[in-house]
């Protein structure tokens, strides 16, 4: 039992509190009783990489049609007379010309890219959180959550997202042209490297770093904040997968409204007409000059629906896979 404060006039009552010299009960408080907030349970970075990769692969197979529509709308830059009147019209036109399978054109680059992207994202985030906790007495602050998310986004942008997104955008763009030149993902990749070198797969790097960095900073910050709010003073409180999905949807929506302009710029910088732009800033200026401010929010609706579903699915699948890995691969 913890010792009482150094006061001979205090004694324990039968409810575990103290009784002062005038008989008034007071609760016994211990200054060190409340542990620092740690942002929930820690996950081994190796488990995070594996679980993240599995979650990313499953998620993209479910949500790709919305990604296809979003990309088509953002590439439709004909200011005078756009081809598509909106997301529904884009879906109808695609199905009419290519059948339902047309909504899955360009899926292969995203499958190859989503697995390493999600693996790097969750692995980097957990590794950075571990380092942050180690240097801050085991606690993860709101600032720490934001910075670790930012670091995870920058890592995935450099190691996975930029080359795979460049190939994806060019592939989708090519498949909608009159005479497609790419026979498949690897043929398209070889063609891009042959004509533009490795640098050709890193078009729009700065825009992608800004987009992914802000994306993951917002998402992980919102997710960690909502988890902490839900758990209150019990960091081990169970969170139902449906609650996790709702939190993921909120996190995804926040990131969409926060950085869709960067997503539009990135898409233009990685399309077949990327040669028209000198750099990211030049791309932004030309979009503003020729198409107006509304162009920076093209594809917001399909992106919002996709990202909310995407983030909800990824976090739910990720956490469920981590639970399985914790049983099969004890690390603590």
pLDDT digits 0-9 by tens, 108-164: 777 888 899 999 999 999 999 999 998 988 889 999 999 999 999 999 999 998 888
Q: How many CB atoms lie within 10 A of CB 290?
A: 10
Instruction: State both tokens at 281.
Output: 């800033």
Residue 134 included in any domain: yes
Give the pLDDT of residue 32: 44
If phi > 0 it is left, if psi is from -120 to 50 it is alpha, else beta; for residue 138 that is left
Whether 8 and 96 share a structural domain: no
Give the pLDDT of residue 20: 52
Whether 304 and 226 share a structural domain: yes
Whether 146 and 253 share a structural domain: yes
Residue 242 included in any domain: yes
What total of structural domains would you count in the chain? 2
Listed in sequence order, the residues at least 6 apart from 231 whose beta carbon sits closer than 8 Å to its beta carbon are: 40, 237, 239
Give the range of the structural domain holding residue 323, as residue numbers without chain letter. 43-328
Task: For the chain, count helices (H), then strands (E).
Answer: 10, 3
Residue 47 included in any domain: yes
Whether 67 and 145 share a structural domain: yes
Instruction: State both tokens at 198.
Output: 């490795």
What stretches in the chain show pLDDT beneath 70? 1-40, 77-80, 332
Residue 38 included in any domain: no
How far is 223 from 238, CA to CA, in rounded Å?
15
Give the pLDDT of residue 76: 78
Sheet holding 11-12, edge to edge: 11-12, 18-19, 25-26
Whether 1 and 122 share a structural domain: no
Whether 123 and 75 share a structural domain: yes
Q: Where are the beta strands (DSSP E) in the chain?
A: 11-12, 18-19, 25-26
Would the pTM count as exceeding 0.85?
Answer: no
Whether 196 and 284 share a structural domain: yes
Whether 20 and 163 share a structural domain: no
């Amino acid at each position: 039992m913890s010792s009482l404060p150094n006061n001979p006039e205090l004694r324990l009552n039968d409810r575990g509190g103290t009784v002062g010299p005038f008989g008034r009960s007071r609760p016994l408080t211990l200054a060190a009783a409340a542990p620092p907030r740690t942002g929930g349970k820690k996950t081994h970075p190796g488990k995070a990489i594996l679980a993240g990769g599995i979650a990313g692969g499953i998620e993209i197979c479910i949500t790709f049609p919305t990604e296809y529509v979003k990309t088509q709308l953002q590439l439709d830059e004909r200011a005078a007379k756009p081809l598509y009147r909106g997301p529904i019209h884009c879906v109808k036109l695609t199905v009419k010309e290519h059948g339902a399978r047309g909504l899955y054109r360009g899926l292969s680059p995203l499958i190859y890219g989503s697995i390493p992207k999600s693996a790097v994202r969750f692995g980097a985030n957990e590794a950075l959180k571990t380092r942050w906790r180690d240097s801050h007495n085991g606690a993860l602050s709101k600032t720490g959550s934001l910075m670790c998310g930012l670091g995870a986004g920058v890592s995935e942008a450099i190691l996975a997202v930029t080359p795979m997104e460049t190939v994806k955008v060019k592939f989708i763009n090519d498949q909608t042209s009159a005479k497609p030149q790419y026979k498949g993902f690897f043929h398209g990749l070889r063609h891009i490297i042959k004509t533009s070198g490795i640098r050709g797969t890193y078009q729009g790097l700065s825009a992608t770093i800004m987009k992914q960095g802000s994306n993951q900073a917002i998402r992980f910050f919102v997710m960690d904040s909502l988890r902490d709010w839900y758990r209150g003073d019990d960091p081990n409180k169970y969170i139902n997968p449906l609650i996790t999905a709702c939190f993921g949807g909120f996190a995804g929506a926040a990131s969409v409204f926060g950085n869709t302009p960067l997503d539009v710029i990135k898409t233009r910088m990685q399309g077949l007409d990327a040669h028209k732009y000198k750099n990211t800033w030049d791309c932004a200026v030309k979009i503003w000059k020729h198409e107006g401010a509304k162009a920076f929010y093209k594809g917001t609706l399909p992106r919002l629906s996709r990202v909310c579903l995407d983030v909800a699915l990824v976090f739910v699948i990720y956490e469920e896979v981590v639970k399985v890995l914790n049983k099969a691969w004890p690390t603590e």
